[in-house]
Amino acid sequence: MFVWVSAPCMVCVASGRYDGGVIPRYSRPEMASLWTEQAKYDRWLEVEIAACEAWAELGRIPTSAAEKIRADASFDLDKINEYIAITHHDVTAFLRSVSESLGEEGRYVHFGLTSSDVWDTATGLQLRDACDLLLADVDGLLKAIERQAVAHKDTLCVGRTHGVHAEPTTFGMKLAVWVDEMRRNRQRLEQAKEAVAVGAISGTVGAHASVPPELEEIVCRKVGLGLEAAGTQVIQRDRHAQFVTTLALIGASLEKFATEIRALQKTEVREVEEPFAEGQTGSSAMPHKRNPEKCERITGLARVLRGYAVTAMENVSLWHERDISHSSTERIVFPDACLVLDYALTLFTDIIERLVVYPENMRENIDRSYGLVFSQRVLLALIDAGMSRQDAYAVVQRNAMEAWNTRAPFYDLLLNDATVREYVGKDDLGTLFDFEYYTQNIDATFTRLGL
């Protein structure tokens, strides 16, 4: 069962050492651990050490100094926060703390680099690792939907357009559409990972004046990132906009799926129901309520993600070679977007895995429209028998409206219509009211999906 309250995450927030704003209720420990101050500065230090080793490879600093920096460099979170109060600058405060862990070799730390070289490259590491967790989440959800799709491949239900009965389909077919969509989302997330998993060690305006391109290549290779081929002082924010909008798009898909479940859980529909645990309550006033609150939560979180996507796109446009208007927003948007989607994916996976399906209600609901779901088959049969499309449509629609208004079976009305009988006999008419006609090609779709 999905558990959404995590003590480790609450510790991160309570300590003031978590940079995001997502509440513990919507945070999962593994993702939250990527966005603590400790995790951020660990990656800063990883980049700084890699840069020192790269300088040593290029013969600019002694190899012994790089080795000592690798062995001894560290930082103190409390000291960093103390120095930030003085410097009002994260990176200089961090460097001051690191220098206190080293001797004379400390002068080589941050040699030729600018703040964004470290910050942006380290952020690439965080986003890469966050993508890996999200990809695992997507894989888990895909497996859950695939299992349910196969299990309900032949579970007959009514298809609805505009919320009105259209023609029969199967519940498995609904889920097959979700499988295909989530596979596209996985591809998008892989592409977004490639876009943001890059580093840049290119100096104050990106021209490599103080750091040669060779050093940048060595550092990125050491930390496992791609290269920003041409940049300014910062990695270009179209990359990050692609990442956040991809997360928002995945959230939109989850909202779409959750909205379908919510609609099918209505009392007068009740074809499916999200999990409702023993002892769970749906209302403080009405004990009978079994509300789709989990799916409603998914819907709300998807709205948050879309807001973050707008912010990420606005960050693309910076002044000249850089400003820091993006920085304040990214401290919130990057961790929170990752945490929100990580939580939403895992929550929805649990919903799908424990989804309650009511096939009997699905069949009963089909019958609520008096057989009108067969109207197109009757229309086509009349056309095949020689009636013009316009005349056939008018005859079928007239009988359909009477079925709606009088609640009479559509089949009986057609059988008693002289015009219909002139073109389609009783036996032939009966064969048109066959559900298997609508499910005859479901297997083809599942074969396309490899299910």
pLDDT by residue for the chain (451 residues), tens digit each? 544 433 333 334 334 344 556 778 899 999 999 999 999 999 999 999 999 999 999 999 999 999 999 999 999 999 999 999 999 999 999 999 999 999 999 999 999 999 999 999 999 999 999 999 999 999 999 999 999 999 999 999 999 999 999 999 999 999 999 999 999 999 999 999 999 999 999 999 999 999 999 999 999 999 999 999 998 989 999 999 999 999 999 999 999 999 999 999 999 999 999 998 888 887 778 888 889 999 999 999 999 999 999 999 998 999 998 888 888 888 999 999 999 999 999 999 999 999 999 999 999 999 999 999 999 999 999 999 999 999 999 999 999 999 999 999 999 999 999 999 999 999 999 999 999 999 999 999 999 999 9
Q: Are residues 53 and 70 in the same domain?
A: yes
Residues 6 or more apart whose Cβ sits within 8 Å of residue 258: 292, 294, 295, 296, 298, 299, 348, 351
Cα of 315 vs its chain's centroid, Å: 21
Contacts 24+ apart (CB under 8 A), 89-98: 89/115, 90/115, 90/119, 91/44, 91/115, 91/118, 91/119, 94/41, 94/44, 98/45, 98/48, 98/73, 98/74
Pick from 89, 109, 108, 178: which is nearest to 138 by CA? 178
CB atoms within 10 A of CB 288: 7
Q: Are residues 391 and 359 in the same domain?
A: no
Instruction: Say what the pLDDT of residue 280 is.
Output: 82
- Supply angle C-alpha 373, 374, 375, rounded to 5: 95
Half-sphere exposure of 352 (CA within 13 A, CB side): 31
Of 364, 384, 410, which one is at a domain's C-terminal end?
364
Q: Are residues 149 and 295 in the same domain?
A: yes
Q: How many domains does the chain have?
A: 3
- For residue 438, being part of any structural domain is answered with no
- For residue 24, being part of any structural domain is answered with no
CB atoms within 10 A of CB 188: 18
Q: Which helix (H) or strand (E) holds 198?
A: strand 198-199
- For residue 27, being part of any structural domain is answered with no
Answer whether 315's CB lies under 8 Å from 237's CB: yes
CATH number at residue 396: 1.10.40.30
What phi-psi label fits residue 253: left (phi over 0), alpha (psi between -120 and 50 degrees) or beta?
alpha
Of 88, 108, 128, which one is at a domain's C-terminal end?
108
Half-sphere exposure of 262 (CA within 13 A, CB side): 17
Q: Are residues 243 and 143 in the same domain?
A: yes
- For residue 204, being part of any structural domain is answered with yes
Q: Are residues 101 and 150 in the same domain?
A: no
Per-residue H/E/C for 145-175:
HHHHHHHCCCCEEEEEECCEEEEEEEHHHHH
CB atoms within 10 A of CB 435: 15
Q: Are residues 239 and 310 in the same domain?
A: yes
Q: Are residues 96 and 130 in the same domain?
A: no
Answer whether 123's CB lies under 8 Å from 416's CB: no
CATH number at residue 334: 1.20.200.10
Whole-structure pTM value: 0.92
Residue 441: what residue type?
A: N
Q: Are residues 197 and 236 in the same domain?
A: yes
Q: Which helix (H) or strand (E) holds 246?
A: helix 238-264
Residue carrying structure tokens 């460099």: 73
Q: Are residues 41 and 95 in the same domain?
A: yes
Q: Are residues 426 and 304 in the same domain?
A: no
Instruction: Say what the pLDDT of residue 16 is.
Output: 38
Q: What is the DSSP letter of 229?
A: S
Q: Are residues 268 and 219 in the same domain?
A: yes
Residues annotated catalytic, as ranges: 162, 283
- For residue 173, being part of any structural domain is answered with yes
Instruction: Say what the pLDDT of residue 443 is.
Output: 97
Instruction: Say what the pLDDT of residue 6 is.
Output: 36
Of 47, 79, 108, which one is at a domain's C-terminal end?
108
Answer whether 294's CB lies under 8 Å from 275's CB: yes
Give the C-alpha separation, 101 to 82, whole Å: 16
Give the C-alpha separation, 429 to 415, whole Å: 8
- For residue 310, being part of any structural domain is answered with yes
Q: Are residues 95 and 140 in the same domain?
A: no
- For residue 2, being part of any structural domain is answered with no
CATH number at residue 50: 1.10.275.10
Contacts 24+ apart (CB under 8 A), 13-22: 17/77, 18/335, 19/331, 19/332, 19/335, 20/331, 20/332, 20/334, 20/335, 20/336, 20/339, 21/332, 21/336, 22/335, 22/336, 22/339, 22/340, 22/343
Query: Domain span at residue 376?
Result: 372-432
- For residue 439, being part of any structural domain is answered with no
